[in-house]
Every structure is written in C-alpha cells, then in structure tokens.
Structure 1
C-alpha cells in the first residue's frame, strides 16, 4: 500500500500522527492551530502540595468571544490519559476573561500528573496542549528537592532565550519559583525598556495612562483590560508556554505587576509631583494577576475547586510550602504592606529630617570620628522662618517656584509647594549653595551679592541633601544613589521614633507568620522567597581619590527600593534568625537584574538575574550618562565599567556577582547542603530570537557557575 502514497501525502500523514501523540492530542482532536484558537495561552499549573495542585487555562470560543465557555478537564497519571483521576467540566467565565483555575485535590504525593482541557463544538473536540505537573513529597519523605528560581521577564523588545535554555536542559524539577515582575506594566518606557523589536499594544489604549510625550511617549496599564492584555500577550510566547506546560510554578509579585517601584497602591511615575495613590488601578492589577497566575488562594474543600469563583480581594499571597523533610519554602510579599520610601521623592533637599535633639540621642553611641563629622559645619542648619532670615527665605522661595514650574507644576501648585517646603529647619549646605548660584546671576546683572549664612552657633542635623537629594522631584537621592552612612543613621533614628513603622516591609501579620514559621520549621532548609534582593549593593567611592567631585567621594547605596532601603529591619530580622538558631536559612531573590551569591550578616542569599529585563549594568550606564558623566569618566569607570569589582569590594560578603547577564538558577537541596547552578547568557543576546536558530547556537552562549551553600557559607563548586 505504501506505493499508493505520494511522498507529500506520506509526510502529511506523519505530521498528523505526530500531532496526536506526545504532549499532544488524541485521534479525535484537531490540529494545534485549531487548539490555539480555543486555548491561545496554552496551559499551566502551580502551587503544588502533596495532595493538590492548581491547573490553569484560558478557553475562548472564537465564534462567540463574549460567552462563557464550557471546558472539560482531564487529569491522569499517564501521558496517554489511560488512567484518569479526574474528568470533570467547568465554566471559563467571560467575567474572568475566560481564565479558569481549578484546584485539584485528593492527589498522591510526589507524583507526575498529566492534564488537558478541551471544548466540544459542533460534534468536534478541541483540546489544549497536554501539561505536566508534579505534586510535592510527603512531609516525612527524605528526598532531595530541585527547582529553578527566576524573575523579571520583560517582553518589550526582548526574547525568552533563558526559558528556551531551561527547556533544552530538560531538568527533572519539582517546580519553578518566579520571584516577581512576571509582566511589565508599560509598553515601552525608554528609561529601562527597549523600544525596538516586539511590543505590546493595548486593546483599549484610551483607558491606559499616557506617560511621556512625542517619540518618548508610552502607555502604562491602568484598566483591567490593560493588565489582562499584558498577560495574554506575554503568554502567547511559545517558550514560556512550553515551560509552563512542563513545570509547576510558585509565583509571587513584585512592583511591575502593578507599577514600577510601587508601595501598596501608590505609584511613583511622577516622583510625587502629583498624588499617585491609585487604589482602583491596583485593584485591576491584582484582578488580572489572580486570573492569570496558577496560584492557590487558600480555597478549601475536596475534589476539584474553581478558584476564580471564590477568590476576592484583598487576597493574601504570602504562603508556605513543604517539600518533604528537606525544604520549607516561605513565599513573602514585599510590596503590599511596605511603607513609603524613607526619603520622599518630592523632599526638599534642604529640609532637615533629623534635627539636633534627635541626633543627640544617638551621637554618644557613634565612634568619635563620626561624632566629630556630624558636628561639623557641613551639618549646620537654621530656622529659615526667623525674621532676620526673611530675605533668604524669599530667595529660596523664588528659586523653588522657578524649578517647580520647570518640572511641570502650575503656578498655583508651585507656590503652595514652596510654602510647604521652604520653611522650618533648612540645611546651610543646601541654602548657601542656592545663595551662591543666585549671587552669580546678581553679580552678572550688576547687583550686590547676598552673604552666605554663617554656620557658627547653628544647630546640627541631617537633611535630605546629606543623603544625596539634589532636586525637587526625582528618584536620585530618594530611591537610587543614596549616601549610605547618613541614610543608615537616618533610617535607624526614624525606626526608633516610629516603633518600626517606617521600615515595616512585611506588615504585622506577615512578619508574625514568617517569624513563627521559620522558628518552628524542622525541615533541613528554610528558604525565604523575597522578590527584592537581600544582597547589599554599595558603590564605595569614599576612598576613590580619582573621583574629582568631592560630593561624589562617598559610599552610595545603588537602590533603596530593595532591602537596602530597609536597613534597620533587615538587620533586626537577620538577628532574629541567628538568635533563634534557625538551621539553614537561605534567601532567594530577584528584582535587581543581576546575579549574586552572598552572605548577609551570617545569612546566605542567592539572587537570580532577570530572564530578559535590562541588566543592572545597562541601567547603571544609562543613569550615569544621564547624570552628565561621560563613558570615559572615572565615575563611569567605577560604577559601570568595573561594576562587578566595585560591588564586591564594597560588600565583603559577596562571593559572586554578575551585573550584566540574564538567566536563571537551578537549586537542589538535601539534608546537608544546597547546590546552586547559575545559567547565564550575556545581555547582548537578549534582543535575539534564538527560537529561530539551531539549538547549538543558544547552548554556546550560556555559561554555568556552580556554588555550594553549607553551614551558612557559600563556596564555588
């Protein structure tokens, strides 16, 4: 019979058979193209426990997009679905964007399950891709646990070569931890996103937030449809579909699931030029997250539970998992409960944040050289409202209004802000700089100069200017590039005065849960999942004599939106872990788009690079050039060119750093040690789509670095 087939017909038959076998469909199903029409985002699973797992799909009827869709779910221990453990129908509701999440219970521990969804229409069955998932081992099982952790997968102009590499490795994983920034809420913010290559267009752009102007303009998600578009678009990528089809995910969120550098429901796009408390927008972001992420929201009951039907906001996402005797995994939420950044983005540089009476409370506890420095003229301040200083207040007010108008404020708002900020205690370091600048203009105009205010006899205190704040509105000196020693002192004083509220990153309920769970867990490893990195990132420029600007010859935190912005709470919590003698605590983190292995105050920490988001070296380079330093300057060399060396020099706990690579980390834990393998690809490769190339090309771009964590020490393997 073979000779009756033409070669083309034979190949077509082979392709048809292949499409119905492994991870595919049965013989009564249609092609993958038809499947994609009904299940455009494929399938995924998440939150595996010994007896349950969450299964997800988005099912749409292309001929009736506004209607609910009846979906059949089959779960089996065999890839051929010959041994079903569940065969049940559910409804993918249009009100949830046709996303369906089912928590399947009564499963067996540490067992691989296969699952698929299907819809019946006009006598035909349309099936999704077949997904594979694995439940957790029983609490008493003494088995090694292997998983991947990763973060930050910006879709704009970038490709998921890291996920493709994980698929190539075909690791036998128990699950994948995703540490946040699953989506990015903007459609092309040139300050950190690529504007070339693939992008995202909102279906309802009129409901989005327009940011920037002209060629640099972009949209930020605002409405529920905007946020849904981001998930739908990202999950059409074939690499992430295949990773989700193969492994169960445990996911937390960071900032970009809502808004860059957010805290609670407050955004930071305008650096406090306007009030950015956006409760409805935050609610929309959470709704889309809950719809598209295969997360267990604590739904209880037996059998198969439609989670979307019972979830409500606000929903607690901090939770813990147990994988046998060797792993307790604690997933934290470091965005929802945190307070505002310690230094306000609209903080007036001259404003004294710590007056003399507060500073005097801690001065005796500081080393003598530090005491002497803090009592020097650099920290002198005056009450600008004293009648004798009225001419100076008028000058400062006029300059403030001028700068506020240039920043885009109205005359009325600029005047009101000036009245608010140009008052009370102001640092002479800043006041006299403004006076000097005004004097240049006055002298040029033939007017007499205004004398500087003398520091003799003035009080001493800490102002925002001492921490690096130079402008009225901005992230520099508030969220990024903050003077470390002054910020640490300021943070500690504020922490004491507020009974810890100023750095309450976890919130009361979450911190109580975290402390109790860590202290009581008997598993060999207690791993804290933190979306933000625990590794301290400092640029130590204080001893760099080749830096010509003395104001820059200091030690700076690079980013105080991460754990460095909560220095008192960080040390307090790490001390609790040490004092409680918690065995084998380990932090795994993301957010910062860099790779770190470090020991922070006795606690080991591993940070994964971004899957695709711009590396920290790229972002630091843009920031330094934007601040006016050329690529040939000494500042650029210390901060950008020698980034890895500079960070390692300033933090002796760092044993490994790579600030210019993408990738993921494979982590395996057993009763005595944790083995971490960093799989890294240079940032220059992220804009190339390796799914269109031979596998060997991508393999050659990756490097692997191995480390072992044992007894609180990290060593190269």
Structure 2
C-alpha cells in the first residue's frame, strides 16, 4: 500500500539535498529544509500584529552569530495563498539592524479587508535561502461590515519553571479567530523572584550580560532584575523560543499592551517598587531600555508609520510614550487598548508611610463625613481614631522614644544612618494616631508615656487603612482596609482635583472619552491591563476571627483599579451618563478569572497563561504572616476565596482564583459570548507538549457567559 508518510520523508530528503547544492539554484528552489520547520537563523520565528482593514504589522528577528555586529538583509513575501503563488508583496531589501538586535517590524499596506494573508521572511547566506516558517494573519473587516468577530484575550505568561499549556490548548481548538489580545506581562523582568516565581528547572531566564542587571534579594532569595537593553532583550528572546507561543504567533495576529513586568513589578510611570519606599526608585534610563526592547520585539507601530519598515528609533519614549490606540472591526466592535502604567500616579498609600502618621486630620475627616449616616460618623468617634500633635512640647519625651524606635526599624530594614535620619524627620512628627503610638510605647517599655485618648481630636491614620509596618506592601499595595481607604481616596481626589487618581493622564483621557462617546459600533470594548472587578474580602461579620483588626472589609490589591476607587466610579458612571451602550471591559494582571458588573458596566478578567494564581500567592502571604491553614482568616481569604469574594461583591458573577487559561470572545449583533477555557494551576509545571494531546484536552474546562443588556449571566 502507498505510504504518504514515507513519500513525505523522501520529498523532504530531496529538498534537503537540493538545498546543499551550490549551483543551479533559483529563488524558488534554494530552501535549506522543510519549510514547516523554519530556519535556525530565525530562532524566535515570526509574528504579526495590529491588524486593520488595509494593513498589518509583520515581525521577525534574524540571528547570524558570525555576523552579529553587521546589518543583515532580509526578504519578505506576502501572499493570499499558502504556496505563495500569488504574491501581493515581495520586498527583497529589508534591513535588520544590529542596533535593534536584528529585529524588524514592517507595516504592510494596501491589503483587502477581512482577508487571510500568508507571509514569510528569508535570509540568504552563502548562496542559500534560509526561510522562516509560514505565518498567517488576517486583516480587520471594513468599517460598517455586518460580520461577527471572534477573538481571545489573555495575560501574564511567566516563563520560569512553567509551561504554556494554555497556548497549546488554544492551538488544539483550531479556532477561527480574528485576533488575540494580550493584556500585559508578556515577559517578567526578573530571573527568579522567589516571592512569586518558580525555582526554574528547565525553564529559566539567564542574562547574557548579568553584570548590567539589578541585583535583588540575598542568599537563597537572590535574583536579578532586567536593567539594560540587553537584559530586556534577553527576556523576549527567551520567551519567544517557546514552540507553543511561536505557533500561536504564526497563526494569529496579536494586539498587545503592556502592564508592569515589561518594565518593573507594580511600577507607575518610570518608578519601580522593589525597595518599598526605602529609597527613590525613579529609573528613567531603565524605563527607556524596557520600552526599546518591547518596541523591538512586539508587532505594533506607535510611530504611525505610513508603510514599510517601522523606525523603532522614531517611536516615542516615556514620558511621550503612546501605545494606547483603537481598532474598528466592522459594524459591531470598537476596541480601545489603554495604557494603565505610563501616566498613572503613585499608589495612594506610600510604602514608606509610618503607620502612626495621620492622613486626614479632624477637619478633613469631618468634612469627608458630612452627609454620612450618624452610625458611620459614630464609628469615627471611637478612641481608635484619637490623635495628638507630636510636635507639641508636652509630647517631647514620647517623640524622642518613637523616633528612636523608628531609627532602629529603618536601619534594620537596610537604610543607612543618613537615610534613616531623613525618613524619621519626615514621618515621626506632627499628628500621630494614639492607637498605633501607644502600642509602640508599651512595646518599647515606656508604658508610663502612654497618652490617654480621651478628649483628643479624631483623625484617620495609615494604620487605620491596614498599614502596620515600615517599607511593606501590606497596607499600601495589598490587603488594604476598604472603607477607610475609600474615604481617604475620595478626600485626596477632591483636594487634588482628581490628579491623585489620574490613571490615564490628560491626553489618553481625552482620547478615551472622545472615542467611546462617538463610536457607533454595537460594542465598545475597553482593554485594561489591570482588573476592574472589585476584589473584596468582607470579614466584618466573621465572629470566629478573634483579631478585631481583621474583622473588616479588605481590598486584596490596590495596584489594580481598586486602588483608584473614586476614578473608577467616576469613569464608569460617566459612560452611563453619556449614553454609551454595550460597554465591556477586558482585563488581566491578577492571575484569576472574574466576570462582574461594576457600577452597571460588565467587566471580564482573564486568568494568567502561567503566572502564579491569586489563590496560591495569597496563601503564601498568609502563611508567611504566621496564619496556619486551619486559621479562620486563612479559610475565608484563601481556602474559600471564591465564596468570600462573591459574598463581598454583589456584582461578581463568576470567580476562579486557581486556574490558568484564556477567554474566547464571540461578538454578535445582539450579544457577546465569553468562554473561559481553564486548567488547574497545579498543571502549569507539566510540559504537555510532550504528551498525547488528549491528556491536555481532558484537563481543560469551558464555562460560557452571555453579556447582554449591561449584565453578565451564564449562557
């Protein structure tokens, strides 16, 4: 019987022999091997992005170690047929510059709407044509076309010690997608931060120039963070060697924004947060290095190129960066891709805030409580909120003790004498909360100096928002007391005329409002790298929790939109007031799956492709804080996290806090369907690419929701 597999092997051998022949080779027969394998000169394969009705960005990187310092010439072929018999572009003079790591982005124009195109790059050396795998991309439908749209959105693909099983599952589905939205954390800037990353094993990131990186941690917790352009390029080069990710890029165009890890964890503007407020971490050069690598490796065009090679040097850098942009997909979809990190202000609670410092004095607190029910006002009359002015001569002895304690704590945290002295002068003075300072005085052995709270003014201090120690993420970026934080945020918002929560910056804000309010498409979908779903732990009525300081409502993370509660409410209510119909937010970052309705606006949050689930990270945090797995707070906040979150947020329709995966979205004229494809987090350390495909299929579940009439319900 005729064996097609043997025939294919024979033909591949013939092609390989022909490729080694140095005479009689034309452009068409000079291939080095089976085209489906791709040439080793293209170790990151190829990619496409930012599809529009008449254009798309095509990307490739060539690597010839023998000519590492030279510019290299490439050829690009684009065709409407997979055999390249019908070329729409044959560009033979592309220059891959050594200055940009031999990465090239090309804007191909003059294309037809809603059309599939095939493309490949080739590099000729020693008379041989070395070719990439064949890429496939698709342009957007024309404006006004009455067509459904199907896409996937996903986020957070930590490489270290983890495998891209979610991408493999998407390839298994063989879905007919228009594009993939990636919401950020395409790479992680660290080589093994033990606070959230795996140990590595066979999946590790190593810098080719480690001497240029930032050393973080000590001993067994030591790791490096990307700093130089070379460091950041190494991140993309490593991640894009993964065959599953390559295959997804080869098959679908991507629309990508960044979140924090493309630069630095929990960053804002050009400021990092590794030091948690111990020192100023403004890092303009590092930010520019991160942006350069991102722009070199991600197929987008922020320079608004007319056609041809995108000049990466012309793409604007911080503070003039602009990667926010919008896409129109026929009559039914306007997609707005926002930038949450580049213009936003600092987190509202400083990481170096002294817990005892009063954030709202009696005057500000009183003004903030006007109009509130008497029961709420009464809460703030408790002794817990009493404060004194430490600068009064009557408290000189207490001030001296408190400053001494602060100095020791600051130096124990790694500050120099000079740094600690500067910090203590800033923080340990003025209005201070007796709830905190009296505990410090007693612990230091100065019970005689404890100050009675009777007849003292009432104010709101950082300790009342969950800040319990210096230079810590708890009570500043994570696990913040919701009710006091919301009150504090609202006052700051009013006093600063909104600048304290100016997430988008004025230019992006104007674009956002103009685009949303003028769009006539059926659906207006907003891509936000961080989640809009309110993640609240309401422990206020949990009587089995013995510590009264824990019987409150907490935000899990205020690095996301929960950290700008006033702006979030204003933004969503403005959309409703302006009559914006069928708005839907798509987000990621938090490594969990959510579907919720916030202020009457639906929002969907994708899980991480691989990054540690929110449940596992919260569990590690509570165990590190000394809470056993059997403790009530652990049970509510971790073991039964989904139930706690749903009970705490009436708008939360769906929560899965311990799975990886992606969300497939089908946009129709009268509804949108969103299907969460999820795999348990425990499977992320297993490489399913080396197993039978049915094993991976069996691990995934699919749950579909219908978005309609400003609501989300199971389909």
Fold shared per TM-score above 0.5? yes
Paired residue for 2:200?
Answer: 196
1:367 to 362, 367, 373: 373
Select the residue among 466, 472, 475 that pairs with 2:473: 475
Counterparts of 1:639 and 1:35 in 2: how far apart (Å)? 48
1-structure distance, mates of 2:60, 2:362: 60
Deviation at 1:12, TM superposition (A): 3.8
Higher alpha-carbon deviation: 189-198 or 125-134: 189-198
Bigger mean CA deviation after superposition, 608-617 or 121-130: 121-130
- SS of the equivalent of 2:67 reads coil
Distance apart, 1:37 and its partner CA:
2.4
| Separation in structure 1 between the aligned mates of residue 110 and residue 222 of structure 2, nearest angstrom | 51
Unaligned runs of 5+ in 1: 443-448
1:686 is paired with a residue of what secondary structure?
Answer: helix
Corresponding position: 1:388 with 2:394: yes
C-alpha contact (below 8 Å) 1:35/1:127 kept by paired residues: yes
Greater CA deviation, 287-296 or 60-69?
A: 60-69
Q: Partner residue of 2:286?
A: 281
Structure 2: tracts of 5 or more residues without a match: 18-26
Which residue pairs with 1:293 in the alignment? 298
User: Which consecutive aligned stretches of 4+ in structure 1 deviate over 6 angstroms post-superposition?
Assistant: 7-11, 17-20
Determine which of 415, 418, 421 is the counterpart of 1:415: 421
- Does 1:349 find its partner at 2:352? no
Q: Are the aligned partners of 2:122 and 2:131 in contact in 1 as well (CA < 8 Å)?
A: yes
**Residue number in structure 2 paired with 1:311:** 315
Normalized against structure 1, the TM-score is what?
Answer: 0.95
Which residue does the alignment assign to 2:61?
58
CA distance in structure 1 between the aligned counterparts of 2:316 and 2:590, rounded to whole angstroms: 31
Q: Which residue of 2 aligns with 1:76?
A: 79
- Separation in structure 1 between the aligned mates of residue 406 and residue 293 of structure 2, nearest angstrom: 41
1:415 CA drift (Å): 2.1
Q: Would you say 1:242 and 2:239 are equivalent positions?
A: no
Task: Give the 3 Å change call, closer, same or farther, for CA 49–16 of structure 1 in structure 2.
Answer: farther
Equivalent residue for 2:169?
165
What displacement does 1:405 show? 1.4
> Any idea what SS the aligned residue of 2:368 has?
helix
Alignment deviations for residues 335-394 of structure 1 (CA, whole Å, 9 cap, x no partner):
000000000000000001111111121222111111011122111110001111011001
Contact 1:264–1:339 (CA<8 Å) still a contact in 2? yes
How far does the alpha carbon of each residue in 1:65-124 deviate from its partner, in whole angstroms, 9 at most, with x for none? 111110000000000101101001210000011000000011100000000000112211
SS of corresponding position for 1:48: strand
Q: Say which of 448, 458, 461 aligns to 2:459.
A: 461
Shift of residue 547, structure 1, vs aligned partner: 0.6
Q: Does 1:149 align with 2:150?
A: no
- In 2, the alpha carbon distance for the partners of 1:375 and 1:568 equals 24
Residue 40, structure 1, aligned to residue 40, structure 2: no
2-structure distance, mates of 1:512, 1:267: 27
Please tell me whether residue 705 in structure 1 is matched to residue 703 in structure 2. Answer: yes
* 1:640-679 aligned within 5 A: 640-679=638-677
Say if 1:396 and 1:422, in contact at 8 Å, map to a contact too.
yes
Separation of aligned partners in 1, 2:16 and 2:531: 43
* 1:307 CA displacement: 3.8
Alpha-carbon contact 2:403-2:424 (below 8 Å) kept: yes
TM-superposed deviation, 1:600 = 0.4
Larger mean Cα displacement after TM superposition, 56-65 or 513-522: 56-65
* Offset, 1:14: 4.8
How far did residue 272 of structure 1 move? 1.1
Residue by residue, what CA displacement relative to the aligned partner does 1:155-175 show, whole Å, maximum 9, x if unpaired? 010000000000000100000
Q: Which moved more, 1:460-469 or 1:430-439?
A: 430-439
What count of residue pairs does the alignment treat as equivalent? 701
Shift of 1:63: 2.1
Match of 1:465, SS? helix
The equivalent residue for 1:583 is: 581
- Aligned counterpart, 1:86: 89
Equivalent in the alignment of 2:114: 110
- Partners of 1:656 and 1:10 in 2: how far apart? 51
1:269 to 244, 269, 274: 274
TM-superposed CA distance for 1:9, in Å, is 8.4
- Cα distance, 1:469 vs. partner? 0.2
Within the candidate set 28, 31, 46, 2:30 is matched to 28
Structure-1 residue corresponding to 2:566: 568
CA distance in 2, matches of 1:707, 1:269: 38
Query: CA, structure 1 residues 271+254, in 2 after alignment: closer, same or farther (shift >3 Å)?
Result: same
Instruction: Identify the residue that residue 24 of structure 2 maps to in structure 1.
Output: none
Residue pair 2:303, 2:316 contacting (<8 A) in 1 also:
no
Q: 1:628 to 1:17 in 2, by over 3 A?
A: farther
Measured against aligned partners, the alpha-carbon deviations of 1:110-145 in whole angstroms (never above 9, x if no partner) come to: 000000000112211110111000000000100000
Check whether the contact 1:297–1:307 (CA below 8 A) recurs between aligned residues: no
**Distance of aligned partners of 1:465 and 1:690 in 2 relative to their CA distance in 1, 3 Å threshold:** same
Change (3 A) 1:488 1:12: same
